[in-house]
Chain A
Amino acid sequence: MAKPSADIRRARPLLGTFVEIEVAGATEPEMAGAVDAAFAAVAEVHRLMSFHDPDSDVSRLNREAHVRPLAVHAWTYAVLKTAAELQRGSCGAFDIAVAPTLQRLGLLPRANGSVPSLAPANADFAIELLDGGAVRFRGPDTAIDLGGIAKGFAVDRALDVLRGFGMTAAIVNAGGDLAAFGPEPQLVHIRHPRNPAHIVCTIRLEDEALASSARRFDPFHTADTFGSAVIDPASRRVPGIVDGATVRAPCCMIADALTKVVMIRGIEASDLLERYSASALMFSADGTLQMSSELNDAVHLAA
């Protein structure tokens, strides 16, 4: 029997960011095969849920679901179902139907240059999940964007694949939304949302997920951070109280989505965090860091 080799680590451009997969505990060809399959799962999520790809489930829904019900892939359906649950649980702070607002703000591209009209904010959930994996939108002004949840879902699917291939340890990091399993804890460095060059703390992660949302930055152009892609559905503005949020949760889809709720609601997100066995830390606009006490043992603040 071939001896397990050192770990392997690969990265590919997917989901609009760099997705990195690292595995250990098997032979080189076994690990390479597992990593390829895990990337294929991430690519499948990308193909189904991209706002930019005209053939994705999301684009098909945005074009036609207000006219007739459309059948979607089981994965898309699962994400929509969790999104609906989170929207109810967060009293509308988590809302995948913010796409028209993101388009108006220039954060998402517009279809044929038109200015999208806005559905009433916090209307009843604008998306109907029908039996048999079909989806219908209640009105013509509804448009969804899964950018706040799909990366986390993709990370979960990649880890499922790696477990299925018998890897003993793995970590999948989709541009800061990450999850890991294995005997050794993983150390994750958290950047400061206003100064990505500065590491604020490290978090020890064991068989769980960690997701972060913050102001976006593009080191190609500038080291400065600029506007966030998180929008408060009630005010349709970039929320002001939190600069960046990191959420630890049992799975990455929930961690990813809850970062948006924390960005918008701050510590008022506590009940929802508890309901999902999640904990959080957030950077306030006044320069302070707040952390739920569950994280105390896992976080180490940098000097």
Chain B
Amino acid sequence: MTWVRYTLPAAAIVSAAAPAYAVKYLSIEEAQKAAFPSAHFSEVQAGRVWKAEAGGRLAGLFVFDRVIGKHLYIDYAVALSPAGAVQRVEILEYRESYGGEIRSPSWLAQFVGKTAGSALKINGDIRNIAGATLSSTHVTEGVKRVLATYGKAVR
């Protein structure tokens, strides 16, 4: 096996350029339909918690939540069964950046009105990204909070 050596431009290491990477996977409505097909949804808590009913019976609870970090927002939804167990956790929207632009309204405005499936390609054509592994710990902690808050409410 032969190896070829490249010297990377210093900019590659110290670059302050902060590309944003974002993907919209599902809208709230699409996620509701995927979690509880053919259910009817009634809002229990505005923009956050919905009761799913199918055939006149409780099918479960749909909870929308967002984890906010310093540089990153992740929207996700938790579907709870009537027994209060986590049925599925789905990432609705993933945003990642390293600069301060995530706080600016104009940057955030890019997300408004985007439909799911239209993967946001903010920085060119990045669809698949690899390198260091991103930890999903904050979402996992969020799911535990959702479960603690709403798990009993279903029953």
Would A176 and B132 be within 8 Å (CB), given that A10-B90, A11-B91 are in contact?
Answer: yes
Query: In angstroms, how far is the closest chain A Cβ from the Cβ of B68?
Result: 9
Q: Does A221 contact B (CB under 8 A)?
A: yes
Contact, CB under 8 Å: A194 / B128: no
Q: Does A133 contact B (CB under 8 A)?
A: no
Q: Does B18 contact A (CB under 8 A)?
A: yes
Q: Does B72 contact A (CB under 8 A)?
A: yes
Contact, CB under 8 Å: B8 / A214: no
Residues from chain A with a CB closer than 8 A to the CB of B5 are: 288-290
Would A189 and B139 be within 8 Å (CB), given that A17-B134, A219-B69 are in contact?
Answer: no
Residues from chain B with a CB closer than 8 A to the CB of A213 are: 133
Q: Contact flags (1/0) for B128-155 with A, using CB distance below 8 Å?
A: 1111111111111001000000000000
Contact partner, A217, options B6, B13, B125, B132, Cβ 8 Å: B132
Query: In angstroms, how far is the closest chain B Cβ from the Cβ of A77?
Result: 25
Q: Does A199 contact B (CB under 8 A)?
A: yes
Contact, CB under 8 Å: B140 / A290: no
Query: In angstroms, how far is the closest chain A Cβ from the Cβ of B27?
Result: 13
Q: Does A192 contact B (CB under 8 A)?
A: yes
How many Å lie between the Cα of A16 and that of B138 in the bound state? 10
Closest to B33 in A: A32
Query: In angstroms, how far is the closest chain B Cβ from the Cβ of A288?
Result: 5
Query: In angstroms, how far is the closest chain A Cβ from the Cβ of B50?
Result: 20
Q: Does B105 contact A (CB under 8 A)?
A: no
Residues from chain A with a CB closer than 8 A to the CB of B11 are: 198
Q: Does A115 contact B (CB under 8 A)?
A: no
How many Å lie between the Cα of A78 and that of B6 in the bound state? 38
Would A220 and B138 be within 8 Å (CB), given that A178-B130, A186-B128 are in contact?
Answer: yes
Contact, CB under 8 Å: A219 / B12: no
Residues from chain A with a CB closer than 8 A to the CB of B134 are: 17-18, 175-176, 217-219
Residues from chain B with a CB closer than 8 A to the CB of A217 are: 132, 134
* Residues of chain B whose beta carbon lies under 8 Å from any beta carbon of chain A: 1-8, 10-15, 17-19, 23, 25-26, 34, 69-72, 76, 88-91, 94, 96-98, 117, 119, 125-140, 143
